[in-house]
Amino acid sequence: MAGSGMDIARIFREIAGRLVATPELDTALALTLSAVRQLFPDSILALYRYWPTSDELEVVALEPETGAHALLGMRLPATVGTRLAVGQWRPAQVVRSGEAIHLPSVALSADATLHVDLLCAPIQGIGRILGVLQAVSERPYTFREEDLANLHAIAALIALAEETARRGQDLQTTTTSQVNAEYIAAMSDMTAHLTHRLVNDMGAVRLTVQVLKRQHESGKLTDAELLEKLDGIERHSDGAIALVRRIKRPFDRIESAPIQIELALDEVVRGLSLPDDVVLIRRVEPDLPPVYGTHQITEVFHHLIRNALDAMADSPVKRLTLIGRRAGEDAVEVAVEDTGPGIPEALRAGLFRLGVTGKQNALGYGLWWSKLYLTRVGGALELDATASQGTRFVVRLAVAPTRAGA
């Protein structure tokens, strides 16, 4: 039933697009189910949400909305919004085990006169089952192994959308000053951008595997071709894993504590391999007070310095300047300056948005994440538009109050 590798990749991108482009989750899920139907054109699709407190499954979406009722109504509620106790229907096995199932010929009617082919995949959240995605064919022995794999992959995308929506709801109801509207908007940007990248990587893996299978079956697969394809699978899989880590990272809890900015800068500079033609100038005021942050502040400086070095790659004069100074009673500022060509005017307005970059094959993640992190610790990141040459970024961090008697 599955289509070609290119068709599957296109459909997966469409599914991801619908999940991230529709603000209201249940509406997004219903739209997603209509896209899934392209992979299962003659099937009845159902999506359930699991409620652990009552141990019930709720019908969230059906596709098609009409015509499915007569068939599904024989064994379960066939209208959106209806709940059934876990144990009344086959998805209960998925909820209990967390494993996908394929039953190529299962009795649907009470008198066992009607058999169907059934696929069920868990929508697996972080440490919990969120729901079940189900496909039913009126003809037994219709689905193949790759159909179950596709359904499982789609369930994983839905799980990502569900977890993202739940995190967003948690953020909107949180009163801490570290979480604000800018942070919530940034989560939406991140999810949309990185999910598309993730789906592209996984689609490439699936397509490569299908090509390998066909070549193996035809006896045309050489050892050299196998190694080349396996290298591609490894590369795309590593890319997908890295993206998943990045998707998770901005949700990580941050607990700010007093840190010494000089020590953070020292650590970053020690870890750099500066080219011989780059001159490093450090002008850091002595005895700067502790500021609020975490160990991740070193990553902010690393991103800014690495960007500066990349920008100066073709410059006749390569000078990297780090300036640390007190900015009033409540803040410390660190400037990172370079003698590169500067930021193009076309990029400046959206410079801190996810995906905006002047580099080839770059994700556009570093500046976006750095600004988001600094916002969460009560700081700021700005591009100094008054710089006469090159680029000058300014990191601003809040001074941590000194304890009495310290």
Tens digit of each residue's pLDDT (9 = 90 or more) over 91-134: 677 888 888 888 898 876 666 677 888 888 888 876 678 888 88
- Locate CATH 3.30.450.40 in the chain: 5-251
> Could you tell me whether strands 83-85 and 56-63 are parallel, antiparallel, or unpaired per DSSP bridges?
antiparallel
Average pLDDT for the chain: 75
- Peptide linkage before 258 cis (omega within 30 of 0): no
Q: Which residue has the higher pLDDT, 115 or 268?
A: 268
pLDDT confidence tier of residue 245, bands split at 50, 70 and 90 = low
Task: Give mean pLDDT, residues 274-283.
Answer: 92
- Locate CATH 3.30.565.10 in the chain: 257-398
Q: Which residue has the higher pLDDT, 119 or 404?
A: 119
pLDDT confidence tier of residue 16, bands split at 50, 70 and 90 = low
Q: Given CA atoms 13, 18, 21, 23 in this order, what sign does their dihedral have?
A: negative
What's the CATH number for 5-251? 3.30.450.40
Q: How far apart are the first and last CA of the chain?
A: 71
**CA pair distance 93, 112, nearest whole angstrom:** 20
pLDDT tens digit sequence for 365-375: 778 888 888 88
Name, of 87-101, 134-148, 171-185, 199-213, the range with top average pLDDT.
134-148
Which pLDDT score, from 0 to 100, does residue 316 have?
Answer: 92
Q: How far, rounded to the nearest angstrom, does the alpha carbon of residue 108 sit from its chain's CA centroid?
A: 38
What's the CATH number for 257-398? 3.30.565.10
pLDDT over 70 at 243, yes or no: no
Which pLDDT score, from 0 to 100, does residue 336 have?
Answer: 95
Q: How many CB atoms lie within 10 A of CB 174?
A: 13
pLDDT confidence tier of residue 259, bands split at 50, 70 and 90 = very high
pLDDT tens digit sequence for 380-399: 999 988 777 889 999 999 99
